[in-house]
Structure 1
Amino acid sequence: MALIFELDPTVDPALRDGLLALWADVSNAGGAVGFVPPVTPEDIRPELLKHFTAMAEGRSRLLVGYDETGAVAATAFLTLNTHRLMRHWLWLYTVMVHPGHQGKGYGRDLMAAVADAARGLDGIEAIRLGCRGGTGVDTFYAACGYKEVGRVPDAIRVAPGDDRDDITMLLPLHR
């Protein structure tokens, strides 16, 4: 069954708790979403509140994918670029699909929904994202049409002695 996507859902306690649980589950499964395991939803809460603040200020948009039970199963934050010379593209952050839904095509569905949402935003011509090297996710994004446009070697320190490349990828949006 396909996910049901919603852009800019109402933020209520159920959504907040669903996002926290998803983010913890993805992180604890080894997902490269800003934390290293083990983490709890409480560890993640301050970072989620930063996203909510950006949403309230109109700087970021939230895309949520719900599974057949109505649970939060996937997310992506589309963050508008505030630099006056770069407002024609946005950043994509915190792209997640619940580990229990891996292998069902939901990641591709999420990335297609992200592109559709971005195309619906006035003046947006491209999406940029950063990803952690050594995870294989850059290959996934490439399969979704993103091209590597930059790489900073050893920029992400996961643990002492475990440095990873910071890879920047771009998807031009052809309307």
Structure 2
Amino acid sequence: MLTVAVLISGTGSNLRALLEAASEPGFPARVIAVGADRQADGFVHAEHYGIPTFMVPFEEFETREDWGRELLAHLDVWAPDLVILSGLMRLLPAAVVEAWSPRMLNTHPAYLPEFPGAHGVRDALAAGVSETGASVIVVDNGVDTGPILAQERVPVLPDDTEHTLHERIKPVERRLLIDAVRRVASGELDLTQTA
């Protein structure tokens, strides 16, 4: 059984979907801990499923590296097989990435390498494209530059706002993430071959 730790910053909608999938009989992975860089609304999903939580508040540390060391210490306690960034709105220090890659995955609301960064949906709309998408990647030390594990196109509708487009991307993102975790857990996807 693949063990997973999930790191969040916000509402945890991807986390909720993963917890729902993991509660189904036969799903080959389970979430063992949920962490955040702040008090995150998404902790309610972990609590609902009885999953332990931890918080490493970024603002309590003098440097990103100090914060990263504390985050690593928490991850080491749980020793998951896989770490998933699920809306963690914080760039990880290189030491954290190096400790976990390629066993660290992230979702992104764009068809990478198009529109990387914190505002992928807004950037797609500003560019006037007819389609964008969702991606699941291995985390590296760049900004959304790691190896792509899965992605799917999502059309941009003429009357889309950032909110409406993002709401249509989210279900695709969730499905891709759950499938990627399933493929890693089953051995169908070997993360050591992605580098």
Q: TM-score, normalised by structure 1?
A: 0.29
**Larger % of strand: which?**
1
Q: TM-score, normalised by structure 2?
A: 0.27
**Larger % of helix: which?**
2
